[in-house]
Structure 1
Amino acid sequence: MARSDEAAAFFHAVYSAVQEIPNGKVTSYAHIARLVGTPQRPRQVGVCLKYLPSDPSARFNHANVPWQRVINAKGVISPRSQPSGSRNQAAALQAEGVVVTTGALGELSVDLAEYGWFPRQLPSEAAEGLVPDDDDDGGTDEDGGVVGDGDD
Protein backbone atom coordinates (compact mmCIF):
# COMPACT_ATOMS: atom_id res chain seq x y z
CA MET A 1 0.00 0.00 0.00
CA ALA A 2 2.75 2.47 0.84
CA ARG A 3 3.63 4.48 -2.26
CA SER A 4 6.43 6.66 -0.92
CA ASP A 5 9.30 6.38 1.51
CA GLU A 6 7.39 8.59 3.95
CA ALA A 7 4.29 6.39 3.76
CA ALA A 8 6.38 3.23 4.13
CA ALA A 9 8.04 4.71 7.23
CA PHE A 10 4.64 5.59 8.70
CA PHE A 11 3.24 2.09 8.05
CA HIS A 12 6.38 0.59 9.64
CA ALA A 13 6.06 2.85 12.71
CA VAL A 14 2.37 2.04 13.16
CA TYR A 15 2.84 -1.72 12.79
CA SER A 16 5.82 -1.69 15.16
CA ALA A 17 3.87 0.31 17.76
CA VAL A 18 0.84 -1.99 17.52
CA GLN A 19 3.13 -4.97 18.10
CA GLU A 20 3.93 -3.51 21.54
CA ILE A 21 0.33 -3.53 22.78
CA PRO A 22 0.19 -6.26 25.44
CA ASN A 23 -2.03 -9.29 25.08
CA GLY A 24 -5.43 -8.61 26.66
CA LYS A 25 -5.17 -4.82 26.27
CA VAL A 26 -6.52 -2.31 23.75
CA THR A 27 -5.65 1.22 22.71
CA SER A 28 -7.04 3.78 20.31
CA TYR A 29 -6.11 4.80 16.79
CA ALA A 30 -5.32 8.28 18.13
CA HIS A 31 -3.06 6.92 20.84
CA ILE A 32 -1.02 4.93 18.33
CA ALA A 33 -0.79 8.07 16.17
CA ARG A 34 0.46 10.01 19.20
CA LEU A 35 2.99 7.32 20.12
CA VAL A 36 4.50 7.37 16.62
CA GLY A 37 4.78 11.16 16.65
CA THR A 38 1.84 12.07 14.43
CA PRO A 39 -1.06 12.90 16.76
CA GLN A 40 -2.97 14.50 13.89
CA ARG A 41 -3.18 11.20 11.96
CA PRO A 42 -5.47 8.72 13.80
CA ARG A 43 -7.44 7.95 10.66
CA GLN A 44 -4.24 7.08 8.82
CA VAL A 45 -3.47 4.56 11.59
CA GLY A 46 -6.78 2.94 10.67
CA VAL A 47 -5.77 2.91 7.01
CA CYS A 48 -2.50 1.17 7.91
CA LEU A 49 -4.39 -1.52 9.81
CA LYS A 50 -6.94 -1.86 7.01
CA TYR A 51 -4.12 -2.65 4.59
CA LEU A 52 -2.16 -4.93 6.91
CA PRO A 53 -1.09 -7.85 4.72
CA SER A 54 -2.47 -11.30 5.43
CA ASP A 55 0.48 -12.89 3.60
CA PRO A 56 2.57 -14.61 6.32
CA SER A 57 5.75 -13.96 4.32
CA ALA A 58 5.29 -10.19 4.65
CA ARG A 59 7.41 -8.57 7.37
CA PHE A 60 4.26 -7.22 9.05
CA ASN A 61 1.09 -9.30 8.70
CA HIS A 62 -2.13 -10.37 10.44
CA ALA A 63 -0.25 -13.03 12.41
CA ASN A 64 2.41 -10.77 13.95
CA VAL A 65 0.64 -7.40 14.27
CA PRO A 66 -2.25 -7.58 16.75
CA TRP A 67 -4.55 -5.30 14.75
CA GLN A 68 -7.52 -6.35 16.88
CA ARG A 69 -6.12 -4.42 19.87
CA VAL A 70 -6.77 -1.02 18.26
CA ILE A 71 -10.26 0.42 18.69
CA ASN A 72 -11.75 3.90 18.71
CA ALA A 73 -11.33 6.43 21.52
CA LYS A 74 -14.79 5.67 22.92
CA GLY A 75 -13.94 2.01 23.41
CA VAL A 76 -16.07 0.96 20.46
CA ILE A 77 -14.91 -1.46 17.80
CA SER A 78 -15.18 0.55 14.62
CA PRO A 79 -17.59 -0.78 12.01
CA ARG A 80 -16.02 -2.29 8.92
CA SER A 81 -17.04 -2.30 5.27
CA GLN A 82 -17.85 -5.99 5.66
CA PRO A 83 -20.50 -6.86 8.28
CA SER A 84 -18.43 -9.60 9.92
CA GLY A 85 -15.35 -7.38 10.38
CA SER A 86 -16.22 -5.94 13.79
CA ARG A 87 -17.48 -9.34 14.98
CA ASN A 88 -14.16 -10.92 13.91
CA GLN A 89 -12.27 -8.24 15.84
CA ALA A 90 -14.46 -8.81 18.91
CA ALA A 91 -13.87 -12.56 18.70
CA ALA A 92 -10.09 -12.04 18.47
CA LEU A 93 -10.20 -9.79 21.55
CA GLN A 94 -12.39 -12.24 23.46
CA ALA A 95 -9.86 -14.99 22.68
CA GLU A 96 -7.32 -12.84 24.57
CA GLY A 97 -9.63 -12.52 27.57
CA VAL A 98 -10.99 -9.05 26.76
CA VAL A 99 -14.66 -8.67 27.61
CA VAL A 100 -16.60 -7.21 24.67
CA THR A 101 -20.12 -5.97 25.32
CA THR A 102 -22.92 -5.22 22.88
CA GLY A 103 -24.72 -1.90 23.28
CA ALA A 104 -28.36 -1.07 22.65
CA LEU A 105 -27.61 -0.16 19.04
CA GLY A 106 -25.52 -3.28 18.44
CA GLU A 107 -22.16 -1.56 18.86
CA LEU A 108 -19.37 -3.72 20.24
CA SER A 109 -17.48 -2.07 23.10
CA VAL A 110 -14.54 -2.62 25.43
CA ASP A 111 -14.20 -1.04 28.88
CA LEU A 112 -11.13 1.20 28.50
CA ALA A 113 -10.82 1.63 32.27
CA GLU A 114 -10.21 -2.11 32.56
CA TYR A 115 -8.52 -3.03 29.29
CA GLY A 116 -7.05 0.26 28.06
CA TRP A 117 -3.32 0.62 27.35
CA PHE A 118 -2.23 4.25 27.15
CA PRO A 119 1.48 4.62 28.01
CA ARG A 120 3.18 7.98 27.52
CA GLN A 121 5.73 6.29 25.29
CA LEU A 122 6.32 2.91 23.71
CA PRO A 123 7.96 0.35 25.98
CA SER A 124 10.76 -0.10 23.42
CA GLU A 125 11.54 3.63 23.58
CA ALA A 126 11.46 3.61 27.38
CA ALA A 127 13.90 0.69 27.39
CA GLU A 128 16.25 2.71 25.18
CA GLY A 129 16.10 5.61 27.66
CA LEU A 130 14.31 7.96 25.28
CA VAL A 131 12.36 10.77 26.95
CA PRO A 132 8.68 11.09 25.95
CA ASP A 133 7.58 14.24 24.13
CA ASP A 134 5.55 16.30 26.62
CA ASP A 135 4.21 18.91 24.22
CA ASP A 136 1.00 17.04 23.37
CA ASP A 137 -2.26 17.41 25.25
CA GLY A 138 -2.79 13.67 25.41
CA GLY A 139 -2.77 11.42 28.36
CA THR A 140 -5.32 9.43 30.23
CA ASP A 141 -8.07 10.70 32.44
CA GLU A 142 -9.15 9.12 35.70
CA ASP A 143 -11.44 6.70 33.81
CA GLY A 144 -8.63 5.40 31.61
CA GLY A 145 -9.91 7.24 28.54
CA VAL A 146 -7.51 9.21 26.40
CA VAL A 147 -7.70 12.96 26.78
CA GLY A 148 -7.72 14.86 23.51
CA ASP A 149 -8.40 11.75 21.45
CA GLY A 150 -11.20 13.16 19.30
CA ASP A 151 -13.75 11.09 17.45
CA ASP A 152 -11.49 8.62 15.68
Structure 2
Amino acid sequence: MAKQYSFFEDVYEVVKLIPKGRATSYGLIANYLGTKLSARMVGWAMNAAHGLPDVPAHRVVNREGLLTGKVHFGSPSRMQELLEAEGLTVVEDKIQHFKEIVWDPMKELEN
Protein backbone atom coordinates (compact mmCIF):
# COMPACT_ATOMS: atom_id res chain seq x y z
CA MET A 1 0.00 0.00 0.00
CA ALA A 2 1.39 3.39 -0.98
CA LYS A 3 2.19 5.93 1.71
CA GLN A 4 -0.48 8.59 2.03
CA TYR A 5 0.56 12.13 1.14
CA SER A 6 1.05 14.32 4.18
CA PHE A 7 1.21 18.08 3.84
CA PHE A 8 2.54 18.34 7.41
CA GLU A 9 5.44 16.01 6.59
CA ASP A 10 6.30 18.14 3.54
CA VAL A 11 6.29 21.24 5.74
CA TYR A 12 8.58 19.55 8.28
CA GLU A 13 11.05 18.55 5.56
CA VAL A 14 11.33 22.19 4.46
CA VAL A 15 11.62 23.48 8.06
CA LYS A 16 14.47 21.04 8.75
CA LEU A 17 16.47 22.83 6.03
CA ILE A 18 16.30 26.30 7.62
CA PRO A 19 19.84 27.11 8.80
CA LYS A 20 20.60 28.25 12.34
CA GLY A 21 20.44 32.02 12.61
CA ARG A 22 17.81 32.32 9.88
CA ALA A 23 14.01 32.28 9.92
CA THR A 24 11.19 32.02 7.41
CA SER A 25 7.47 32.64 7.30
CA TYR A 26 4.44 30.40 7.06
CA GLY A 27 3.61 31.97 3.69
CA LEU A 28 7.07 31.42 2.18
CA ILE A 29 6.89 27.72 3.06
CA ALA A 30 3.36 27.47 1.62
CA ASN A 31 4.50 29.19 -1.57
CA TYR A 32 7.47 26.81 -1.92
CA LEU A 33 5.16 23.81 -1.53
CA GLY A 34 2.93 25.16 -4.29
CA THR A 35 0.08 26.10 -1.99
CA LYS A 36 0.54 29.86 -1.79
CA LEU A 37 -2.78 30.39 0.00
CA SER A 38 -2.12 27.72 2.65
CA ALA A 39 0.00 29.71 5.10
CA ARG A 40 -2.54 28.91 7.81
CA MET A 41 -2.09 25.18 7.19
CA VAL A 42 1.67 25.63 7.58
CA GLY A 43 0.89 27.26 10.93
CA TRP A 44 -1.18 24.25 11.94
CA ALA A 45 1.71 22.00 10.98
CA MET A 46 4.06 24.07 13.14
CA ASN A 47 1.62 23.89 16.08
CA ALA A 48 1.69 20.10 15.75
CA ALA A 49 5.50 19.95 15.45
CA HIS A 50 6.43 20.69 19.02
CA GLY A 51 6.93 17.05 19.95
CA LEU A 52 9.34 16.57 17.05
CA PRO A 53 12.89 17.34 18.23
CA ASP A 54 14.33 17.47 14.70
CA VAL A 55 11.90 20.16 13.44
CA PRO A 56 13.14 23.68 14.38
CA ALA A 57 9.66 25.20 14.57
CA HIS A 58 11.03 28.29 16.34
CA ARG A 59 12.48 29.43 12.99
CA VAL A 60 9.01 29.86 11.45
CA VAL A 61 7.23 33.17 12.10
CA ASN A 62 4.69 35.37 10.37
CA ARG A 63 5.55 37.49 7.33
CA GLU A 64 6.60 40.43 9.49
CA GLY A 65 8.88 38.39 11.73
CA LEU A 66 6.43 38.23 14.64
CA LEU A 67 6.63 35.23 16.96
CA THR A 68 2.96 34.36 16.50
CA GLY A 69 3.52 30.71 17.47
CA LYS A 70 5.23 31.41 20.78
CA VAL A 71 2.28 30.12 22.83
CA HIS A 72 3.09 26.59 21.64
CA PHE A 73 6.59 26.50 23.17
CA GLY A 74 5.72 25.71 26.79
CA SER A 75 6.79 29.06 28.21
CA PRO A 76 6.09 32.53 26.80
CA SER A 77 9.79 33.27 26.29
CA ARG A 78 11.05 29.90 24.96
CA MET A 79 10.70 30.69 21.23
CA GLN A 80 12.58 33.97 21.70
CA GLU A 81 15.28 32.21 23.74
CA LEU A 82 15.82 29.63 20.99
CA LEU A 83 16.11 32.32 18.30
CA GLU A 84 18.46 34.45 20.40
CA ALA A 85 20.65 31.41 21.08
CA GLU A 86 21.14 31.27 17.29
CA GLY A 87 22.21 34.92 17.14
CA LEU A 88 18.94 36.60 16.21
CA THR A 89 17.66 39.67 18.02
CA VAL A 90 14.03 39.68 19.15
CA VAL A 91 12.37 42.82 20.50
CA GLU A 92 8.72 42.85 21.59
CA ASP A 93 8.09 39.44 19.98
CA LYS A 94 9.53 40.51 16.61
CA ILE A 95 12.73 39.38 14.91
CA GLN A 96 14.80 42.46 14.19
CA HIS A 97 16.06 42.97 10.63
CA PHE A 98 13.82 40.12 9.49
CA LYS A 99 14.12 41.04 5.80
CA GLU A 100 17.92 40.65 6.00
CA ILE A 101 17.88 37.21 7.66
CA VAL A 102 14.76 35.73 6.05
CA TRP A 103 15.25 32.32 4.44
CA ASP A 104 13.08 31.96 1.35
CA PRO A 105 13.03 28.31 0.22
CA MET A 106 12.08 29.37 -3.34
CA LYS A 107 15.44 31.17 -3.59
CA GLU A 108 17.58 29.10 -1.23
CA LEU A 109 16.56 25.70 -2.62
CA GLU A 110 16.35 26.52 -6.31
CA ASN A 111 18.23 24.12 -8.54
Normalization by structure 2: what TM-score?
Answer: 0.83
Aligned residue identity for 2:106: R
**2:101 counterpart residue number:** 115
Larger Rg: 1
Matched, 1:73 2:84: no
**1:139 counterpart residue number:** none
1 CA distance for matches of 2:22 and 2:85? 12
Structure with greater proportional helix content: 2
Aligned ranges 1:40-119 → 2 under 5 Å = 40-52=37-49, 54=51, 61=52, 63-78=53-68, 80-81=70-71, 85-102=75-92, 108-110=93-95, 111-119=97-105
Higher-RCO chain (CA-CA 8 Å, sequence separation at least 6): 2
Stretches (4+) displaced over 4 A: 79-86
Quick one: percent identity of the two aligned structures?
31
CA RMSD of aligned residues (A): 2.1
CA shift for structure 1 position 21:
0.8
Alignment check: 8 A CA contact 2:50 2:57 kept = no
Alignment check: 8 A CA contact 1:35 1:121 kept = no
Q: Which runs of 5+ in 2 are unaligned?
A: none
Alignment check: 8 A CA contact 1:17 1:122 kept = no
Alignment check: 8 A CA contact 1:68 1:93 kept = yes
- SS class of match (1:47): helix
- The correspondence for 2:15, drawn from 8, 11, 18, is 18
Normalization by structure 1: what TM-score?
Answer: 0.62
CA shift for structure 1 position 36:
1.2
